[in-house]
Amino acid sequence: MKKVISLVLVCFIMSCTPEVGSEKWCKMMDEKPKGEWTANEASDYTKHCVFN
């Protein structure tokens, strides 16, 4: 039962996060403090939101 609840929770959380590189994701990252970005987020932001 715990596995089912965990799976549902993970699916729910993943569905709430916009796709990396989408306009919605870029706006979300603009609102997130830069000090909280991971290296991958910074790289993806530069690739998809700055040079796109």
* Tens-level pLDDT at each residue, the chain (52 residues): 777 776 665 556 656 889 999 999 999 999 999 999 999 999 999 999 998 7
Nearest to 40 by CA among 17, 13, 20: 20
Does 45 fall in a domain? yes
Does 1 fall in a domain? no
Q: Which residue range is the domain that position 40 belongs to?
A: 19-52
CA-to-CA distance for 6 and 29, rounded, in angstroms? 26
Number of compact structural domains in the chain: 1
Does 42 fall in a domain? yes
Q: pTM for this structure?
A: 0.67
Does 44 fall in a domain? yes
Does 48 fall in a domain? yes
Structure-token pair, residue 14: 């993943």
